[in-house]
Amino acid sequence: MRTVAGGVRALARIVARDDGRGGTSLPVLDGEGPLALRRTRGSGAEARVVLVGAMSGPLGGDHLTVEAEAEAGARLRVGSAAATIALPGQGKDEARYDVRLSVADGGELHWLPEQLISARGSDLHVTTRADVGAAGRLVLREEQVLGRAGEEPGRLGSRIRVSVAGRVVLDQELACGPGAPGGWDGPAGLGGCRAVGQLVVVRPEFAHTPVAAGVVGEGAAVMPLAGPAVLVSAVASDALRLRGLLDEALAALG
């Protein structure tokens, strides 16, 4: 971890590897500063890691990066111990949170953190990039809550970019809160909702049996992508309802 003028720079790295005995080892499990990593009890061949917020943040000016890699034959599930709260810092610089996911052919990665809450006065940009092999599997969930209870949100920008076998299948950006392009909260945007989420599922079998477009509950849309992948986008009045929609969509995908 480095503390520089305006904020903190911190990196967390996870590498999951087939241990050759029907399980998954973690040769690299390294977090620093506010990004603490803990291995928890897994299930079967799957290794599980929890990201623990060891410090407040991200604050204005911070730049946090998490990298997770599932090698061939490895199965990795990453979650977080609690919601992440973006807070204003002493300076006025934007905070950045970068997530880099890599899944090799035959690897599997589930990226399932808790919600990101954009507190009033904060300014955060989140970038998530996932590179998946042709025979890799990925479940990526991203949830954002705009403001704490009874609070106006901060400024929040989000970009998700997913590629499969070197081909980009999704490149999506979202901007919310003060200073975001007009209409983000209107009928063509979030429609007054304060929780928004995305679920990306990549599976090789989708190349032969594509998922049909449709809706889940009230507020979630299922959209097949140009590749062995599907995107679920959802909006809801609060975090609990949002999680319910995304869980329902994931169960429907099998």
The backbone torsions φ and ψ at residue 100, rounded to the nearest 5 degrees and listed phi first, read -125, 115
pLDDT confidence of residue 248: 94
Q: Nearest CA to 62 among 10, 12, 116, 120?
A: 10
The gap between the terminal CA atoms of the chain, to the nearest Å, is 40
pLDDT in tens, the chain (254 residues): 555 556 788 999 999 999 999 999 999 999 988 899 999 987 889 999 999 975 666 888 889 999 999 999 999 999 999 999 998 877 678 899 999 999 999 999 999 999 999 999 999 999 999 999 999 999 999 999 998 877 888 899 999 999 999 999 999 999 888 877 776 776 666 777 889 999 999 999 999 998 999 998 888 999 999 899 999 999 999 999 999 999 999 999 98
Q: Is residue 72 part of a domain?
A: yes
Q: Is residue 239 part of a domain?
A: yes
Question: How many angstroms separate the CA atoms of 245 and 229, rounded?
Answer: 18
Q: Is residue 58 part of a domain?
A: no
Full residue range of the structural domain in which residue 113 is found: 68-253
Question: How many angstroms separate the CA atoms of 26 and 76, rounded?
Answer: 9
Q: Is residue 29 part of a domain?
A: no
Q: Is residue 215 part of a domain?
A: yes
Question: How many angstroms separate the CA atoms of 39 and 50, rounded?
Answer: 6
pLDDT confidence of residue 228: 96
Q: Is residue 56 part of a domain?
A: no
Q: 83 with 93: CB under 8 angstroms?
A: no
- The 10s digit of each residue's pLDDT in 92-125 is 788 999 999 999 999 999 999 999 999 999 999 9
Residue 231, both tokens = 């995107």
Q: 156 with 184: CB under 8 angstroms?
A: no
Give how many domains the chain has, as a whole number: 1
Q: 215 with 252: CB under 8 angstroms?
A: no
- The 10s digit of each residue's pLDDT in 169-193 is 999 999 888 877 776 776 666 777 8
pLDDT confidence of residue 186: 67
Q: Is residue 63 part of a domain?
A: no
What 3-state DSSP class applies to 214?
strand
Residue 130, both tokens = 């996932």
Q: Is residue 28 part of a domain?
A: no
Q: Nearest CA to 189 among 226, 222, 219?
A: 219
For the four alpha carbons of 163, 169, 175 and 176, in that order, the dihedral sign comes to negative
